[in-house]
Amino acid sequence: MAESNAGGVGIDPMHQFEIRRYVELDFLGVDVSFTNSSLWMVIAVALITAFTTLSMSGRALVPGRWQSAAEMTYEFVASMVRDNVGTDGMRYFPFIFTTFMFVLFCNMLGMIPYSFTVTSHIIVTFAMAVLIFLGVTIIGFITHGLGFFKFFVPPGIPAVLLPLLVVIEIISYLTRPISLSVRLFANMLAGHTMLKVFAGFVVLMGIWGVLPLVFMVALTGLEILIAFLQAYVFAILTCIYLNDALHMHH
Amino acid sequence: MPEKEDESPKPSALKDLDQRLRQARGTEEQFDSSEQRGNALGLAFRLVTELVAGVVVGGVIGWSLDFWFGTTPWFLLIFFALGSLAGILNVVRTAQVMNAKQALDDDVVGRAEKQDTQDT
């Protein structure tokens, strides 16, 4: 961490977000190199697969530690979908479960020292948010046909104001992928930068570095809470958007 | 799966365990909600993102329309204003949801009723 470039002033809290190419790849002029970001995504997917399949391989009636952990995450997401979208939303449960687990594992893996936090890059979270946004909009149009446009018409509004309000509603709808992605990315970026800055203080302050060290222990706990909370918020907002598309009420 | 568990007849020991589990879960949930209420920074941050996102989307739409039609700066001005309005609308909506949630959490009776409906 900070020790690697501790010449006193050479502490760079943004160094951890640097993308490094491990395998240079080029696909039709597009840079698709295998980077440290890709590596940690692969690790996250591999761990999720291992967690969900290996823990359930026993299929015991009385679950062991791992099996009950897997069942708990399943139940957690399932009740989230049922509460926020309704039982007909359970069709989309696999997608929401995958999204939740991926974000959760990426956030949590980012808490390991020397690892890379995939979700601290806006392009990653924005790509996921845009995919969710487009998917949900398509589901809305498939379910309601052109009637989905009524979603942008607030009820009980005089005809004079209607064009203005419809434009505002559409812009408000378009902000969804941005607020969804910025929330996750900014929380991760800010948290990890803060951790590194305080780690730098530990090195700089010599014996008094104990004080920021104590603070860092608390901060790490908070970051783990935020890592979980942001995965939860990401999934629940996906549920809410899906609910809007399926049932069309604000 | 829980659906199957509900159908099976419960011996008294299991029923007792169920009750104790439910009690333990109840206290845990209350603890959770009070902890989340302390997370005021998170709530504030959510509201700020909503507002900024509205302004950014409005600005980008206005800027690209100007870019295509060569009408700088008129569309940018109009959509910047509309985007700000959309941002404010988003903030109000998010705050309404937050308020409703808070009221539900504060209302002990409401919580108990909610628990009842979940149990049956």
Q: Hey, is the C-beta of B77 within 8 angstroms of any chain A C-beta?
A: no
A81 in Cβ contact with A89 (< 8 Å) = yes
Of B1, B57, B76, which to mutate for an interface test with A (greatest number of A Cβ within 10 Å)?
A: B57
Question: Could you tell me how many residues make up chain B?
Answer: 120
- Residues of A within 8 A of B92 (CB-CB) are none
Residues in chain B closer than 8 A to A172 (CB atoms): 54, 86-87, 89-90
Question: Is residue B3's pLDDT more than 50?
Answer: no
Question: Which residue in chain A is spatially nearest to B61 when comparing CA positions?
Answer: A171
Secondary element (H or E) of residue A97 = helix A93-109
Split at pLDDT 50, 70, 90, the class of B97 is confident
Q: Cα–Cα distance between A94 and A167 in angstroms, integer?
A: 34
* Inter-chain CB proximity A186 and B61 less than 8 Å: no
ipTM metric: 0.72
Of A75, A169, A171, the CB nearest to B57: A171
Ranges A10-14, A202-206, A241-245, B6-10, most confident: A241-245
The region that residue A18 occupies, defined by phi over 0 for left and psi between -120 and 50 for alpha, beta otherwise, is beta
pLDDT at B9: 52
Q: What is the pLDDT of residues A90-142, one digit of tens each?
A: 999 999 999 999 999 999 999 998 899 999 999 999 999 999 999 999 999 99
Contact B33, B103 (CB under 8 A): no
CA distances A28 to A31, A127, A238, Å, are 8, 20, 33
Q: Say yes or no to pLDDT of B5 above 50.
A: no
The structural domains of chain B, with segments of one domain joined by +, span 40-119
Judge: A174–B61 Cβ closer than 8 Å, yes or no: yes
Q: Is B55 in the A-facing interface, judged by CB distances under 8 Å?
A: no
Kindly compute the dihedral angle of the four CA atoms of residues A243, A246, B2, B8, in this order, to the nearest 10 degrees.
140
Give the pLDDT confidence of A176-229 residue by residue, as tens digits. Answer: 999 999 999 999 999 999 998 888 888 888 888 889 999 999 999 999 999 999
Contact assignment for A167 to B82 by CB distance below 8 Å: yes
State whether B79 and A171 contact (CB < 8 Å): yes
Contacting residues of B for A218, CB less than 8 Å apart: none
* Minimum Cα–Cα distance from B96: chain A residue: A250
Q: Do B49 and A187 touch (CB under 8 A)?
A: no
- B62 to chain A, any CB pair closer than 8 A? The answer is no
Is A175 in the B-facing interface, judged by CB distances under 8 Å? Answer: yes
pLDDT at B64: 94
Q: Tell me the chain B residues in contact with residue A187 when contact means C-beta distances shorter than 8 Å.
A: 45
Length of chain A measured in residues: 250
Inter-chain residue contact B89 with A174, CB threshold 8 Å: no
Range 149-168 of A in CB contact (< 8 A) with B: 164, 167-168
pLDDT of residue A95: 95
Of A171, A187, A229, the CB nearest to B54: A171
**Nearest-CA neighbor of B81 among A166, A177, A168, A152?**
A168
DSSP secondary structure, A175-227, as one string:
THHHHHHHHHHHHHHHHHHHHHHHHHHHHHTGGGGHHHHHHHHHHHHHHHHHH
Please list every residue in chain A whose beta carbon sits closer than 8 Å to the beta carbon of residue B5. none
B21 touches chain A (CB under 8 A): no
Q: Over the stretch B40-79, which tens digit does the pLDDT of each residue have? A: 777 888 888 899 999 999 999 999 999 999 888 899 999 9
What was the pLDDT predicted at A26? 82
Helices (H), ranges, chain B? 2-7, 12-37, 40-69, 74-106, 108-119
For residue range A51-64, what is the model confidence (pLDDT) as tens digits?
999 988 888 788 88
Residue contact B61–A182, C-beta within 8 A: no
Which chain B residue shows the shortest CA-CA distance from A237?
B94
